[in-house]
Amino acid sequence: MKHLNTFRELRSFLLLWGSQTISSLGTAMTEYALTIWVYGETGRASSLTTLTLCIFLPTILFRFAAGTLADRWDKRRIMLCADLFAACGTGAILLLFQSGSLRIWMLYLINILLSFMNAFQAPAAFVATSLLVPQKHYTRASGLQGFSGAAVSILAPVLGSIFLTLGGLRLVLMLDLLSFAVAFLTLFCFIRIPAVPHAEEEKAESFWESCRSGFRYLREHRTILRITLFMTAINFLAKLGNDGMLAPFVLGRTGNNQQILGMVQSSVAIGLLIGSLIVTGMKPARDKVRVIYGTCALIFCGNLVQSLSMSPVVWCAAAIGSYIVAVIMNANLTVFLREQVPVALQGRVFSVRDTLQNGAIPLSLFLGGILADQVFAPLMASDTPLQALLAPLFGSDSGSGVALLVFLSGALGVTLSLVFFLRKHKDTP
C-alpha cells in the first residue's frame, strides 16, 4: 500500500521523467552519431571541440535571462516549445543529410540555436519537478533523475553504434525524432503542471528587476551564496583535474591504450548508476550542507588515489567510488536548494547559480590543457632536483605531468572541502 501511494503521488513526475529520459537517449545517440560523422568528414579534433562549444556556450550565456522568463511563463508551454524546436533542429539535419547538403557549419548553427532553447527548457523543467513532486520525495526524484542520466550515458554510445551500423546517420536521426514525439505527446496529453504560487505578483515586476532578483536572493541568503561559490571553485578544480583530464591521464599512462580508457570511462558510468540507485532508496540527510562539503572531500580523495597509482584496476575502483559519492553530493545539493528557494523564484535563482557554477568550466578546461602540456609535462621530463623528487610518486612517462596536475587539483579540492566542512554553519538560507 505504501508503494502504491508513493506511485500515485509521483505519477505525473514519473510520466515526465520517463518520457524525457527517452528523449534524452535519442538526443545523446544523435550527438554520438554526429560526433563520428563530423570527425569522419574533417579528421580534426578542433571540429569536435567547436561543436561541443556550440552546444555548451549559448546555454551558459543565455541561462541567466532564460531563468527569469521561465519563472514568468508557463512551464509546460516552455517545455513543449523546446521539444518542438529540438525536433525541428533534428528534422533539418535529417533533410540536409538526405539531400547531401549537410555541412559542418550548418551543424554549428543548428546546435547554437538548440543550445539557446535548452537555456529555457532546463530551468522550466527544474521548477516543474519542484511543482510535481511532494517535498518528502525530493531525494527520490533526484535519484531517479541521476539514474536516467547515468543510464543514458551508458546506453547512448552502445545503441548509437548499433543503429549506425544498421541504418547509418539517417536511422539515428529518425529514432531521435521518434523520441521527441514521445516526450512531446506525453507532456501535451497526460501531464498538467500546477501553477506557481504568487506567479502573478512576480509578473508585475519589470524584466530587469526580475533578473536582478535572482542575484539579490543569493546575496541576501548567505548559506546558499556560500554553497554556490564553493561549487564554482569545486567545478573549476574538477575540470582542471581528473574530470577534465581523464583521457590524457589514462592514455598517457598506458601508451595510448584506448581499451583501458574505455574501461575507466565505463567505471564512471557504473559509479553514477550505483550512486543513483542508492540515492533513490535513501532517506534525506538532516544536515545536507555538511554532507555536500564532506562528499566533495571524498570525491577529490578518489582523484588523489588515481593520480598516485599506475594500476588500471585502481583507476576503475577510484572512479566508481568517486562518482557514487558525487551522485550523493549532487542529490543533497539539489534537495537543499529545492527546499530553501521559493518555487516562484527557483527559475532565476537556479539560473544564476548555474551561470556562476558553470561559467568557470571553459576557463578551467583551457588552463588544464596549457598547464598539462606547457608546465607539468616539461617539468616531469626535465633533469632537475624537483623532477627527481616527484618522479617516485608520479613516474616519468608521458602521463606523469597530467598525473601531477590531477594530484594538485585533488589536494586543493580536499583542502577546500575540509575547510568548509569544519567551519560552523546552519542548514538554513
Neighbouring residues of 386: CB distance < 8 A, sequence distance ≥ 6? 379
Q: In CATH, which superfamily holds the domain spanning 11-190?
A: MFS general substrate transporter like domains (1.20.1250.20)
pLDDT of residue 90: 95
pLDDT exceeds cutoff 70 at 204: no
Residue range 389-404: mean pLDDT, rounded: 87
Helix (H, G, I), strand (E, B) or coil at 384: coil
Residue range 307-329: mean pLDDT, rounded: 94
Neighbouring residues of 154: CB distance < 8 A, sequence distance ≥ 6? 266, 269, 270, 273
Q: Kind and range of the H or E element at 283?
A: none
Residue range 194-200: mean pLDDT, rounded: 67
- Extents of the domains making up the chain: 11-190, 210-423
- Using the structure block, give the residue that is written with the C-alpha cell 520525495: 137
What rounded mean pLDDT belongs to the chain?
A: 87
pLDDT exceeds cutoff 70 at 44: no
pLDDT of residue 18: 95
Are 344 and 199 contacting, i.e. CB atoms less than 8 angstroms apart? Answer: yes
pLDDT of residue 190: 92
| Type of residue numbered 327 | V
Proportion of the chain above pLDDT 70, given as a percent: 94
The per-residue pLDDT for range 222-250, each reduced to its tens digit, is: 899 999 999 999 999 998 887 878 878 88
pLDDT of residue 243: 80
Residue range 151-178: mean pLDDT, rounded: 90
Torsion of CA 354, 125, 116, 229, to 10 degrees: 0
The per-residue pLDDT for range 86-101, each reduced to its tens digit, is: 999 999 999 999 999 9
- Cα torsion 363, 207, 68, 91: sign: negative
Neighbouring residues of 259: CB distance < 8 A, sequence distance ≥ 6? none
Residue range 281-309: mean pLDDT, rounded: 92
Q: Which long-range contacts (CB under 8 A, 24 or more apart) does 369-378 make?
A: 371/240, 371/405, 372/245, 372/248, 372/401, 372/402, 372/405, 373/401, 375/401, 376/401, 376/402, 376/404, 376/405, 377/401, 377/402
The region of weakest confidence among 28-32, 195-199, 322-326 is: 195-199
Give domain 210-423's CATH number out of 1.20.120, 1.10.10, 1.20.1250, 3.40.1620: 1.20.1250
Check if 11-190 and 210-423 are the same fold: yes
The per-residue pLDDT for range 108-157, each reduced to its tens digit, is: 999 999 888 888 888 889 889 989 999 888 888 988 988 898 888 888 88
Which ranges constitute the DSSP H helices of 191-311? Answer: 199-203, 207-220, 222-240, 242-254, 258-281, 288-308
